[in-house]
A and B are shown apart, each in its own frame.
Chain A
């Protein structure tokens, strides 16, 4: 039994976390069971698997997972581990396939996880292998909320909507602004040498670091807006990089222990492309009607393009309807550009299933000091799918 005492590592009175919480190996192992083994974990978005036999791979805690829309149209998730000797049966980031074949001995599974192929079944196993009991191990529950896919290894976990609780109010303002909903337009993956909680707590609402670490982003947006308006460039009046958004940005934590950052009653970011602003203006009434009483809604910064990150490794399903460095244009099937801070090399690698980064991701050695992160770039559909 572990000697870890988590409460001793977080002092609720002084609000201090022992840094041993980030480096204790026994604690890390306990987290895999108690946090990642129990929570609903973010998997991805339904638009990543629009057609039967579409799949993508991700992680739930340390576990490599295949998310696949089976031949009948049901989205399923399985441990990416051959029931024979444990080899990953899928080494691609995404694709479409009628079956997953292990590259070791070629055991083959269909998109429902059934073991349908064992080479030399009669000659070597004498036809005696119980193939029915050797399907891919399913994730206990897979659920969807307005296109977002989640999974949990806990068969007794509450239904997803109940688990999300009041967070659905905020999610609706992000996911359900238009009839077409949202769709994924890109995936980014990172490997970072740090404990998973360091990134997770940042995503829980660390607006504070934006003033300094990311100060160039609002500054560039402000300068761009001035240039588009034909105005002379002026320095930030208060000099702290916070800008006018400081009056409208709020944080909330729900009873379900989820965190959210939102913009209160704010219209679209004025630094966006004119065509996007025009579209936002045209559809604003429609959006407010859809979401609720006009003037009482919260909005994401740009209203239709959000970046969420760290899905599979955040146990509390934290999502951020907030400032994004991505941009989407209002085409019928909208597209987006990459963040300006993303290195070109990484940008190219991320888009291919055979990339060097993908291979490193497959071989990621999870530990208390190494974290894999997935980010999805999402954009509103301006028309139903």
Chain B
């Protein structure tokens, strides 16, 4: 078992008629972030948390939406 096995399986699964209408969960640790720290910059969380995933998909959605809005405006 390695990362490639997991990710290619996900890639196959997301293509199919039924599974592509499901969702993937990024909720681990939501609401339990440490908002600030005297030494370490940013918001912090425990070792196992989806804080990075939520940040990634939030930024991804912002970027894609902003890009589409720009195209509409042109």
Residue positions of A touching B, CB distance < 8 A: 1-2, 4-7, 9-12, 14-20, 22-23, 27, 30-31, 33-35, 37-39, 166, 169-170, 190, 192-195, 197-202, 204-209, 211, 213, 242, 245-246, 249-255, 257, 259-262, 264, 296, 298, 315-316, 318, 341, 369
The listed residue (B1, B6, B40) touching A250 by CB distance below 8 A is B40
Decide yes or no: A213 and B56 within 8 Å by CB, A250-B47, A252-B40, A315-B63 being known contacts. Answer: no
A316/B40 in contact, CB under 8 A: no
Q: Which residues of B contact A246 (CB under 8 A)?
A: 47
The listed residue (B3, B64, B66) touching A4 by CB distance below 8 A is B64
B41/A192 in contact, CB under 8 A: no
- Distance from B57 Cβ to chain A, minimum over Cβ atoms (Å): 5
A251/B64 in contact, CB under 8 A: no
- Distance from B20 Cβ to chain A, minimum over Cβ atoms (Å): 5
B27/A201 in contact, CB under 8 A: no
B25/A22 in contact, CB under 8 A: no
Q: State A192–B39 Cα separation when bound (angstroms).
A: 38
Residue of B nearest to A170 (CB): B41
Residue of A nearest to B65 (CB): A6
A contact patch SS: mixed
Add 16 more A-B contacts to A208-B28, A250-B45 (CB < 8 A).
Answer: A5-B68, A11-B23, A19-B13, A170-B41, A198-B7, A198-B11, A199-B3, A200-B56, A201-B56, A207-B48, A209-B6, A253-B51, A257-B55, A259-B56, A315-B60, A318-B52
Decide yes or no: A15 and B10 within 8 Å by CB, A38-B67, A251-B45 being known contacts. Answer: no
Q: Which residues of A contact B6 (CB under 8 A)?
A: 209, 213
Interchain residue pairs with CB less than 8 A apart (29): A5-B68, A6-B60, A12-B61, A18-B21, A35-B63, A170-B41, A192-B4, A192-B11, A194-B7, A195-B14, A199-B3, A200-B56, A204-B55, A205-B53, A208-B48, A242-B47, A250-B44, A250-B45, A250-B46, A252-B44, A252-B45, A253-B42, A255-B41, A255-B42, A257-B58, A259-B52, A260-B42, A264-B40, A318-B56
Decide yes or no: A193 and B12 within 8 Å by CB, A6-B65, A7-B61 being known contacts. Answer: yes
